[in-house]
């Protein structure tokens, strides 16, 4: 058996400065030094900021992009919702990234797969479809379509007007944990082996509406009638849809989960931290961890929420407070 001798010990330090210099040379970090980024702090906090993206502005920019960016230039024609703090490239919250995407009639986006889980909230779409692991399913206005990590997926548009939707992914979480990969389909486009209007990975607008009709408001006032969407094979994502009747104001609350709200219908305002956002259909609101927020509907509204709450609960990090 080979013998592995320890490297020779360094001479004993006679001063604290010498000890700290030796530790630094050995890539050891003393527990008694002051740090620019402390290891612990008193309460949850985030570099991410409350933020609001207007669908009307993003869609106008994407319509400009449609004349300038062909799908041969990029896997997808998207505009990522980048949280506005220095050094951030694309992330919307610490664990989640969102983007608006536009497809033109007749376009087909190539098939690929990746580690990150993904979903689509269809805002304006007629005649669009997705092929997920060989199953072709519609993607129509009001639908929510899932693409679990590792599943082959591509999209196409057989309608007659531009289609636009909101993509949600857990790419920042994938980067943090480091299992990321991306793989294009060998023949570029995966053929559909079957067509189905019903799928565990498609929540049709009509089905969402029926379930909301049966849902009751939260007795503690934290949200309106609300349903959970089972994110099959996507354990990092919490998905809900809630209705807010005109004039309804939700209870002020915060949690350790970060959330992205997408306005599927209606208009209203949200107070997130010390900012007030007036929103309309298609807009997106980012609520970072441990930030107080509340919603008020000006007219009947429907909000989709994507969160990392399952991750926080799995790790026993989840906390929630309501004022």
Burial class (CB in 10 A: 0-12, 13-18, 19+), 279: buried
Read off the pLDDT of each residue in 161-190 and give the average, rounded to a whole number: 97
> 40-87 pLDDT, tens per residue?
999 999 999 999 999 999 999 999 999 998 887 887 899 999 999 999
Architecture of the structural domain at 207-322: Sandwich (2.60)
Read off the pLDDT of each residue in 143-167 and give the average, rounded to a whole number: 97
Read off the pLDDT of each residue in 129-134 and give the average, rounded to a whole number: 95
A 10 A CB-CB count for 241 gives 24
pLDDT of residue 79: 97
pLDDT of residue 71: 80
Q: E strands, 20-107, where?
A: 51-53, 78-80, 97-103
pLDDT of residue 10: 62
User: What residues are paired with 295 via a beta bridge?
Assistant: 270
> 205-249 pLDDT, tens per residue?
999 999 999 999 899 999 999 999 999 899 999 999 999 999 999
Please, what's the b/e burial string for 261-273 (b: 16 or more CB within 10 A of its CB; e: otherwise)? bbbbbbbbebbbe
Nearby residues of 190 by Cβ (< 8 Å), 6 or more positions away: 111, 131, 134, 152, 154
Domain ranges of the chain: 51-203, 207-322
Q: Measured in whole angstroms, how far is the alpha carbon of residue 168 from the centre of its chain?
A: 4
Q: Give this prediction's pTM.
A: 0.94
Rounded (to 5) percent helix, strand, coil in the chain = 15, 35, 50
Radius of gyration, alpha carbons of the chain: 23
pLDDT of residue 5: 72
More confident site: 10 or 323: 323
Tokens of 215: 């849902």
Which CATH superfamily includes the segment(s) 51-203?
Jelly Rolls (2.60.120.10)
């Amino acid at each position: 058996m080979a013998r592995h001798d320890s490297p020779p010990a360094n001479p004993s330090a006679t001063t604290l400065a010498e000890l700290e210099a030796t530790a630094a040379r050995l890539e050891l970090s003393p527990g008694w030094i002051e740090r620019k980024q402390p290891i612990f702090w008193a309460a949850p906090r985030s570099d991410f900021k409350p933020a609001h993206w207007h669908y009307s502005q993003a869609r106008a920019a994407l319509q400009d992009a449609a004349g300038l960016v062909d799908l041969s230039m990029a896997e997808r024609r998207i505009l990522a919702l980048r949280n506005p703090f220095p050094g951030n490239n694309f992330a919307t919250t610490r664990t989640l990234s969102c983007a608006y995407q536009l497809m033109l009639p007749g376009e087909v986006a190539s098939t690929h797969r990746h580690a990150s889980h993904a979903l689509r909230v269809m805002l304006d779409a007629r005649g669009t479809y997705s092929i997920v692991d060989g199953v072709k399913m519609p993607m129509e206005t009001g639908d929510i379509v899932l693409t679990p990590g590792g599943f082959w997926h591509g999209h196409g548009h057989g309608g007659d007007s531009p289609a636009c939707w909101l993509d949600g992914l857990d790419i920042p979480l994938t980067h943090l944990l480091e299992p990321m990969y991306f793989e294009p389909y060998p023949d570029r486009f995966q053929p559909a082996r079957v067509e189905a209007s019903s799928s565990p990975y498609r929540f049709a607008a009509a089905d969402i509406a029926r379930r909301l009709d049966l849902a009751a408001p939260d007795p503690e006032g934290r949200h309106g009638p609300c349903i959970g969407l089972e994110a099959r094979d996507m354990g990092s994502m919490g998905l809900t849809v809630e209705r807010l009747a005109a004039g309804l104001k939700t209870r002020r609350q915060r949690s350790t989960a970060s959330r992205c709200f997408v306005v599927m219908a209606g208009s209203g305002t949200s107070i997130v931290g010390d900012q007030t956002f007036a929103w309309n259909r298609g807009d997106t609101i980012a609520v970072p961890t441990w930030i107080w927020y509340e919603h008020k509907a000006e007219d009947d509204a429907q909000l989709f929420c994507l969160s990392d709450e399952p991750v926080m609960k799995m790790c026993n990090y989840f906390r929630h407070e309501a004022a």
